[in-house]
Chains A and B, each alone.
Chain A
């Protein structure tokens, strides 16, 4: 318990910076909604005149109102994915690897607890932080979108579904980060590899988008698992990918315990 609290306090400052950044981006993004709405009206008309086949190619269906706040908000999904993947991976990597970097590994591990308990405390602290990050995003989004939403139909439910999906991706990247923290030689290396994974999977998403031959590789890029619009408005949740996220995370966390138990920690 002490370790959990200690970790939460140690990450408080960086957590506040992340939360502030998120709030700012949601705010800045929604500020532009009014301008988007103006251009959207003209587009709606053109769009309705298109044959259904073309609409399908563009990935939209006929009832989709391009000027609605809900559709506009679904574009934010990618921004959330980018920020949260970095936050979770780096948090996971540093929470494990920082003891050696800060030369506090000997202090922590001479305490009368097993190594696995220290890892458990760190995993719990990290889970609490990604959950809070998710909830802050949810609350700020729900309130801000509510301000702009004049349709009378509440969007809180769809936004909540989107956040639930995001938490699966957060847990996935946290699992990867934790494993890297235990596995890599030092904190610097762990965050370096983490960066490579984030940028690499993001570029893979782009590759899949421009080349259908790569669709078979979708499972490798968490950025292309989910379609925000479908999750929010069709209620279509691809459970396979959710299971894949959580399964990978569990493997990562299990790997963290295994590696960390035998790790030769330099003090």
Chain B
């Protein structure tokens, strides 16, 4: 419990920054919906004449941006990116922080098992992202009616909003594995940003084609706005692969962490 509390306290500052940025970005983009919708309506009319392959190739998602739900899905494709950076940073830094601060010997000589240390850190990360997503969702619920003054589908918004969490889980898993597999990580952010942008670019490459098999490679393809709007829910196979990847990576990280040779200085 002590470790858990310590980790939460340590993560607080960056948690505040990222949570505030997510909410700020949501607000800024929402503010421009009213002016954007007229252009979007024109563009949408125009795009209806094109085959879906064309729209995909040029990055026009198959959603109507003049509708608030479509516009929200557009905003969330970027909020997911920011959230993913945070998730990755969290996953990488939790398990590598002690070596960097040279406090590993302090922590690990306490009468707790490595598994307990891992569990405490992992739970702290979960609390961080879950609370973050609840706040983002609540902020949306409170602000969309004020900024847009239009009725919208709350279910769709909830699905979009919590897709941030689901993508974060993927990256937390990946971050934990990297942190426990590498001997000492000197820096977190270059790895976090590099890996997240790598997956984001894979998604951008995917976007230009409608080939489904390759989309399993990147979590940014799992919860796309177009499919959420279309299905009124998550695509089960993607949801499943997201959760499975998260669980497998977390267990792998726990296993690696248990046998890791951690140097005191």
Contact = CB atoms under 8 A, between A and B. Distances in A.
Interface in B60-86: 78, 81-82, 85
Interface string A14-52: 100110010001001100100110011011001000000
Contacts of A79: 201, 204-205
A98 B100 CA distance: 12
Contacts of A194: 189
Contact of A18 (B25, B35, B53, B194): B194
Interface residues of A, number: 46
Interface stretch (A115-123, A207-215, A253-261): A207-215
A66 B51 CA distance: 14
Nearest to B204: A79
A100 interface: no
Interface in B195-224: 197-198, 200-202, 204-205, 208-209, 211
Nearest to A50: B49
Interface stretch (A82-90, A130-138, A151-159, A240-248): A82-90
B189 A39 contact: no
A57 B50 CA distance: 15
A210 B32 CA distance: 8
A220 to B, nearest CB: 14
A83 B78 contact: no
B85 A199 contact: yes
B186 A207 contact: no
A54 interface: yes
Interface stretch (A140-148, A160-168, A185-193): A185-193
B208 A210 contact: no
B-side interface size class: 35 or more
Contact of A90 (B32, B43, B46, B193): B193
Interface in A48-80: 54, 57-58, 66, 75, 78-79
A260 B187 CA distance: 21
Contacts of A211: 32, 35-36
Given A46-B49, A206-B78, A29 B186 contact: no
Main secondary structure on A side of the interface with B = helix
A90 B54 CA distance: 36
B188 interface: yes
A102 interface: yes
Given A90-B189, A188-B188, A195-B189, A46 B202 contact: no
Given A75-B208, A207-B29, A86 B190 contact: yes
A90 B205 contact: no
B204 A78 contact: yes
A187 B187 contact: yes
Nearest to B55: A43
Closest 5 CB pairs between A and B? A191-B189, A39-B53, A90-B190, A43-B54, A79-B201
